[in-house]
Amino acid sequence: MTTATTTDWRERHAHDLMASYAPPLRLLVRGEGCWVWDDEGTRYLDFLGGIAVNSLGHAHPAVVEAVSTQIATLAHISNYFASPAQLQLAETLKRITGAGDEGRVYFGNSGAEANEAAFKLARRTGRPRILALRNSFHGRTMGALALTGKPALQAPFLPLPGGVEHIDTTVEALEEAMRDDVAALIVEPIKGETGVVPLPDGYLAAARRITERHGALLIVDEIQTGVGRTGAWFAYQLEGVTPDAVTIAKGIAGGVPLGVLVTFGAASGLLQRGDHGSTFGGNPLATAAANAVLDVIEREDLAGNAHRRGEEIRAAVERLRSPLVTEVRGRGLLIGVGTVEGASSAVAQAALANGLIVNAINPTSIRIAPPLIVGDEEVEAFAERFGTALAAS
């Protein structure tokens, strides 16, 4: 076995891995809390959190203990059997989503898989049309890509599964498109991959009224916004809305792959035995990790911390008064910094050079999504390093 070194790891990556991603920025070797280190010993403040995945940061003791204990006991058993960790997590998810006793839970491995399950749920209504929003993102598998409102991502893989129509993100467009042959509307409360762009005020509540009137499902994609990141367990709860289904992934298991579909009420009876499945979905290891993550978030009120720290971070960016920054948007610890055209990449690169990890999603947007455990030290370090990056760009 060979070991990557500072002189060869980029070449090895290019030689051995598929070219479906951009070249990696650094070779990271360890992490602790909100910080990571590369192979040369440089320390970085991680304000991307594995793209909103590392809810408890890196190497959190609760996750380390849960995963270590579970893998030494029972890691995988297939869905011919149940495990205590799986049963506990399903019960917890029904409670924190508000699905209640009638709710049901399906476990997969990723956000894309959760949205594939949601796609099938909608198809099971027997209605032919599914509505989604333009500039949305729901994943890159074929069904999830069909739901994604980005034609450039879809073009190389046409034809995609049919029956999906993309509409503008306005109540008027939804009213015009909605009829009794619509199976479902799927929405992200905040369009993360579009630049952290929230839905218009009142849109989600209006979508709930309109879908109910026509007997269509309201499916909320909380893969990037859920699990405390926006200041509540789920962003739809901040709007006082109850969906028919919610998809969850990213932050739920602290970096261990897990995706979830939770259904509410009558929607829980749509998928039948044999309709869907996953070999690894809901295995003891992943569900034990998720139980540990959710327990810490609840005990330490990390959703409340996300709300408070998010306000502090947005205020810190605004105080910098950089001419490169056009707006600051988002909710909790999912923050989008709008920049003048073409500046975002230079700012993100300057930030990395200054020991700060953020993400340039597009030419005019920077995404910030630190762990929910972020505290005073990290907020102060972010403000200093981000300010330096803006000044250097």
Q: Catalytic positions, please?
A: 137, 221, 250
- The pair of structure tokens assigned to 351 is 């930030």
DSSP track, 110-171: SHHHHHHHHHHHHHTT---EEEEETT----SSHHHHHH---HHHHGGGPSPPS-EEEE-SSH
Residue 339 burial (10 A CB sphere; 0-12, 13-18, 19+) = buried
Closest CA to 385 of 22, 24, 47: 47
Residue type, 12: R
d(CA 238, CA 233): 9
3-class DSSP assignment, residue 201: coil
- The pair of structure tokens assigned to 137 is 């993102």
How many C-beta atoms surround the C-beta of residue 367 within 10 A? Answer: 25
d(CA 30, CA 36): 6
**CA distance from start to end of the chain:** 41
CA dihedral 264, 202, 215, 265 (to 10 degrees): 10
**SS3 sequence of 276-330:** CCCCCCCCHHHHHHHHHHHHHHHHCCHHHHHHHHHHHHHHHHHHHCCCCEEEEEE
3-class DSSP assignment, residue 238: helix
DSSP track, 14-70: HHHS-TTSPPPS--EEEEEBTEEEETT--EEEESSHHHHT-TT-BS-HHHHHHHHHH
Closest CA to 362 of 83, 118, 103, 153: 153
d(CA 81, CA 67): 20
Which residue in the block uniquely carries the two structure tokens 């390093």? Answer: 385
